[in-house]
Amino acid sequence: MVAGVCYGMVANNLPSRSDVVQMYRSKGITGMRLYSPDAQALSALRNSGISLMIDVGGTDQLAYLAASGSNASAWVRTNVQAYQGLTIKYIVAGNEVQGGDTQNIVPAIRNLNAALSAVGLGGIKVSTSVRFDVVANSYPPSAGVFAQSYMTDVARLLSSTGAPLLANVYPYFAYRDNPRDIQLNYATFRPGTTVRDDNNGLIYTSLFDAMVDAVYAALEKAGTPGLRVVISESGWPSASGFAATADNARAYNQGLIDHVGGGTPKRPGTLETYIFAMFNENFKLGDLVEKHFGLFNPDKSPAYPIRF
């Protein structure tokens, strides 16, 4: 059971926000990640019952929120308090932040936590969403450790507030970059490959589990062994790249949906997971595959068969 699907909007041909909300409800998708506090989307989501993960926006917004408590209070007023009838679960202070901008993550989270608490909304958890490469030495999974020290500060802050670490985990890119050593079936939840972690004896049948457990191993080494991980993005492209086919995308995403209810070898139990993404997005930059991560086409037809 997957917690939600990421609603990216980097396109000029998507359905209206209200149509998208209706799609989520009709498909039984109970959670949504929004990459900015889009006013039209938030209005359409009122009283929908859909649980929300809302990003603050880009690194400029992150810097603004890190700069002062009053900035964070203004942000909460405009983007949270202004919308009655929303079910906001997480606010994401930065998505895959890199370089010097990482220094803004901890102060932004602190300021947002204070702003939310001050208006009685302390139940909304504030975190940040990280790329998988914040983990070094990810093989075997038990060797996982954070590559940079700022992640230890982030982990300790989240541990103190009860918020989870949000991680974007993509076996697709790991497989694409190393198809010689990684089997396609292992990367797409198909049977046939088992990998043993000799440090702890755990057995892996999917690359996804191995990657997630490397994050857990890094959290242990950072002194936060109890910190929960939420998968804030995971998916597989269906066109325009190496191993990017509808068959592989369907195998991966259906496998993910069917798998995450059981957690990982290191951390059994439900693993809250958000699939990337709802739609193919024709204005995405970078590799051509970036335009083809959608479960659905802009005309609302499925990119391939999937059941939630």
**Confidence band for 208, pLDDT divided at 50, 70 and 90:** very high
Which pLDDT score, from 0 to 100, does residue 2 have? 76
Which pLDDT score, from 0 to 100, does residue 1 have? 59
**Confidence band for 182, pLDDT divided at 50, 70 and 90:** very high
SS3 45: helix
CA dihedral 142, 129, 251, 202 (to 10 degrees): 10
Both tokens of residue 131?
């790329």
Q: Measured in whole angstroms, how far is the alpha carbon of residue 69 from the centre of its chain?
A: 26
Q: Which residues on adjacent β-strands are paired with residue 195?
A: 204
Strands 273-275 and 4-7 turn out to be parallel
Q: Per the residue annotation, which of 220, 233, 272, 290 is the catalytic one?
A: 233
For residue 140, whether the previous peptide bond is cis, meaning omega lies within 30 degrees of 0, is: yes
Positive or negative, the Cα torsion across 107, 109, 115, 117?
A: negative
| Sole residue written with tokens 């597989």 | 236
DSSP state of 64: H
Residue pair 196/202 in contact (Cβ under 8 Å)? The answer is yes
Q: Which residues on adjacent β-strands are paired with residue 216?
A: none
Checking if the pLDDT of 291 tops 70, the result is yes
Helix axis angle for 69-76 and 59-67, nearest 10°, is: 120
Residue pair 174/133 in contact (Cβ under 8 Å)? The answer is no
Q: What average pLDDT does the segment 19-24 reach?
A: 98
Give me the percent of the chain exceeding a pLDDT of 70.
Answer: 100
Both tokens of residue 204?
């892996």
Residue 139, classified by CB atoms within 10 Å of its CB into exposed (0-12), middle (13-18) or buried (19+), is middle
Number of residues written out for the chain: 308
Residue pair 112/93 in contact (Cβ under 8 Å)? The answer is yes
Cα(156)–Cα(105) distance, integer angstroms = 13
233 catalytically annotated? yes
Q: What average pLDDT does the segment 50-55 reach?
A: 98
Checking if the pLDDT of 234 tops 90, the result is yes
Checking if the pLDDT of 131 tops 70, the result is yes
For residue 214, whether the previous peptide bond is cis, meaning omega lies within 30 degrees of 0, is: no
| Secondary element (H or E) of residue 251 | helix 246-259
> How far separated are the first and last CA of the chain, in Å rounded?
7
